[in-house]
Amino acid sequence: MPGGTDEPVSSGGGTPAVVLVEPQLAENIGMVARAMLNCGLDDLRLVRPRADWPNEKAVAAASGADRVLERARLYPSTAAATADLNLLFATTARTRAMTKWTLTPRAAASEIRRATAAGIGVGLLFGKEARGLGNDDVALSQAIIAIPLNPTFSSLNLAMAVLIVGYEWRMAANAVETAADATPLAAVPGAVLQLPKETAPATAEQLQGLFEQLESELDRCGFLRITEKRPIMVRNLRNLFGRAGLSAQEVRTLRGIISCLVAGPRRPRGGSGGA
Amino acid sequence: MPGGTDEPVSSGGGTPAVVLVEPQLAENIGMVARAMLNCGLDDLRLVRPRADWPNEKAVAAASGADRVLERARLYPSTAAATADLNLLFATTARTRAMTKWTLTPRAAASEIRRATAAGIGVGLLFGKEARGLGNDDVALSQAIIAIPLNPTFSSLNLAMAVLIVGYEWRMAANAVETAADATPLAAVPGAVLQLPKETAPATAEQLQGLFEQLESELDRCGFLRITEKRPIMVRNLRNLFGRAGLSAQEVRTLRGIISCLVAGPRRPRGGSGGA
C-alpha cells in the first residue's frame, strides 16, 4: 500500500534513522519496523543482521509496516550505516564505564527535534537483543540514551526500546509546537548540540577520517604500541572527540593540527617552503 | 525466582492492575508480562483468554518475568476482573462515539499516581489484539487513555500499548522524585554527564597546561603563523576541548599524544630507545 501510510513530515526536515546493530531475530526486525511506523519513523538501517534478508518472518511480524522493511538497507559496519549522519545516540539499558553525555529518552527527544530541524542527521543505535551495543559502537556515538525502567528487570525487548525512544520523539513534536519559538537553540547550553548557525556539524564519515588519521599517526609514533591496551585507548580517544560534538570545520582543523605536529617545525627548505 | 525482581514500592501504596480482555495469543500475554515488569507493574488480570492457561508460550515470551505470569488471575468477565478496583481506564487507539474523558498516557499517569497514593484502586483495560476493547468495556471505564501515535498506522501490538502506559506511569514517579530533589547535574535538562567513578574531572589548571603545550607546538610547526587569525584560532581550539568535559586522565593522554606526534616515528636510536 505505497503512500497509504504516509503522513505529513513534521516541519524542519528529517526524521532520525534507526540503526540496528547485529539484530539476531528477523521477527524482532519486523516488530521494530511496526513500532517505528507507529511513531512515524521509516529510515531503518541494519548492520550485519543474522537472518537472511529480505525475510518472510520479518514481514509477518511487521503487521503491515511493509514500507519500512522495503526501505531498510543493509550495511557491513556501524560506521558505514551512519556515514551520512551527524549526531549518534547509543541506546542502552546498562551504564558504561565511559565518559558520555547520558539522556533520558524524553530529554533526548527534544535534542533530536532541535537537531533535525537544523538539518542535522540523527541516528539512533540499538544493539543486539541479548547484549546490547558493543563498547566500540557506544564510543562512535555522541551521547547515550538510557531508558529508565525497573532496574531489577531491565531486559527490554528490542522493538520495545525502539518504541519508547520513537514515542518520546513523537511526543516531543507536540511539545515543540506548543512551546513555539519560546525555546531558541541557544537557551539550552548543552554540549551536545549547540552549534553556531553557520557551522555544519561533522558527518560520522568525517569523524571516522579524523580518527583513522590520528590512530595511524599514533601507531607510527609508538603511542599505541602496547597491543593489549590499543583497543581501549582508541575507544577512549573516540569517546573524547565524540563528546565534543565537532563541526565539519573543527574536524578539518584537527586534521590540519595532526599533520602540522607530525611535519614538525617550519624552516626554509631550499625553495618550495614546507608546511 | 520469587523476590529476585522485587523493587521498593513507591510511596502511596498500590500499583495499577493491567486487565487484558479476551487476549488472543499466549505470546502476547507473555510479552505483556515482560513489559509490565520492565515498568515495575505485576498485577495482571486475564478476562477469557483464548489460549489455555497456564501456557508455555506465554512463559517463553515473558523472558524471565515469570512472577507476573504466576500471579496472573483469570476472570469470566471484565466486571468480575475489576470488581475490587475504583478507577478504570480504557486504553484505545481509535476514538469512540461516546462522551468520555480522554487522556494521553502522560496525563493519565499523573492521575493514576494521584489515585493510588490516595488508596484508590486503578485498572488499565486493554482489548483484544485485532479489535481493541468492546464498547461495553469502554462504557465500564471512567476515562479513556488514547495513545497519540501515527494516525495512519495505529496498529499497535498489545504489549507495546501496555509498555507505553506503564512507561509513562513509571516516568511520572521519576518526575515527582526529580522535582523533590531539584538538583540538575548538567545544563541540558535531563542530561547527566556520566563519569566513571574512578575518573576525576580535569582542573582548570590542568586544562591550561594542555592548551599552552598545544599552542606552543602549533606555533613551532607554523599552524598559528597568521598573526591576525591566531587569537580566534586559539579560542576555537580551547572551546572545542572545553566542550568535551575532559577528565584529568584525558588531559594527560592528550598531552602525551602531542608529545608523541611531535617526537615522530619511534626508531632505535643508539641505546636509550626514544619515546
Reduced to 3 states (helix: H, G, I; strand: E, B; else coil), residue B218 is helix
Q: What's the confidence (pLDDT) of residue A77?
A: 95
Determine the residue type at A60: A
Q: What's the confidence (pLDDT) of residue B197?
A: 52
- In the structure, what pLDDT confidence band is assigned to residue B164 with cuts at 50, 70 and 90? very high
Does A174 sit within 8 Å of B250, measured CB to CB?
A: no
**A186-239, pLDDT tens digit by residue?**
222 332 333 444 567 888 899 899 999 999 999 999 999 999 999 989 988 988
Does A222 sit within 8 Å of B275, measured CB to CB?
A: yes
Q: Which three cell numbers stand for residue B157?
A: 501490538
Does A246 sit within 8 Å of B38, measured CB to CB?
A: no
Compute the distance between CA of residue B144 and CA of residue B111 in angstroms, rounded to an integer.
Answer: 12
Average pLDDT, rounded, for chain B: 82
Q: What percent of chain B has pLDDT over 90?
A: 52
In chain B, which residues have their Cβ closer than 8 Å to the Cβ of A104?
190
Q: What's the confidence (pLDDT) of residue A177?
A: 40
Residue of chain B minimizing CA distance to A247: B240
Q: What's the confidence (pLDDT) of residue A245?
A: 78
Q: What's the confidence (pLDDT) of residue B141?
A: 86
In chain A, which residues have their Cβ closer than 8 Å to the Cβ of B188?
101, 103, 107, 111, 188-192
Check whether B189 has a pLDDT greater than 50.
no
Predicted complex ipTM exceeds 0.85: no
Does B261 sit within 8 Å of A262, measured CB to CB?
A: yes
Does A107 sit within 8 Å of B221, measured CB to CB?
A: no
- In the structure, what pLDDT confidence band is assigned to residue B62 with cuts at 50, 70 and 90? very high
- For the segment B148-170, the average pLDDT, to the nearest whole number, is 93
Residue of chain A minimizing CA distance to B191: A103
Compute the distance between CA of residue A142 and CA of residue A124 in angstroms, rounded to an integer.
Answer: 11
Q: What percent of chain A has pLDDT over 90?
A: 55
Q: What's the confidence (pLDDT) of residue B43?
A: 97
Check whether B211 has a pLDDT greater than 80.
yes
Strands A122-126, A100-103: parallel, antiparallel or unpaired by DSSP? Answer: unpaired
- For the segment A95-100, the average pLDDT, to the nearest whole number, is 66
Q: What's the confidence (pLDDT) of residue A193?
A: 38
**B218-232, pLDDT tens digit by residue?**
999 999 999 999 988
Q: What's the confidence (pLDDT) of residue A228?
A: 94
- For the segment B68-95, the average pLDDT, to the nearest whole number, is 89
DSSP secondary structure of A160-171: HHHHHHHHHHHH
Does B35 sit within 8 Å of A4, measured CB to CB?
A: no
Between B169 and B243, the more confident residue is B169
In chain B, which residues have their Cβ closer than 8 Å to the Cβ of A39?
149-150
**B108-143, pLDDT tens digit by residue?**
999 899 888 888 889 999 999 878 898 888 878 888
Left (φ > 0), alpha (ψ -120 to 50) or beta: where does B235 sit?
alpha
Predicted structure pTM score: 0.77
**A16-33, pLDDT tens digit by residue?**
999 999 999 999 999 999
Does B106 sit within 8 Å of A171, measured CB to CB?
A: yes
Residue of chain A minimizing CA distance to B224: A257
Contact A162, A46 (CB under 8 A): no
**A23-74, pLDDT tens digit by residue?**
999 999 999 999 999 999 999 999 999 999 999 999 999 999 999 999 999 9
- For the segment B225-251, the average pLDDT, to the nearest whole number, is 85
In chain B, which residues have their Cβ closer than 8 Å to the Cβ of A145?
none
Cell 495513545 sits on residue = B147
Check whether A92 has a pLDDT greater than 70.
yes
Residue of chain A minimizing CA distance to B155: A38
Strands B101-103, B73-75: parallel, antiparallel or unpaired by DSSP? Answer: unpaired
Nearby residues of B273 by Cβ (< 8 Å), 6 or more positions away: none
Q: What's the confidence (pLDDT) of residue A136?
A: 85
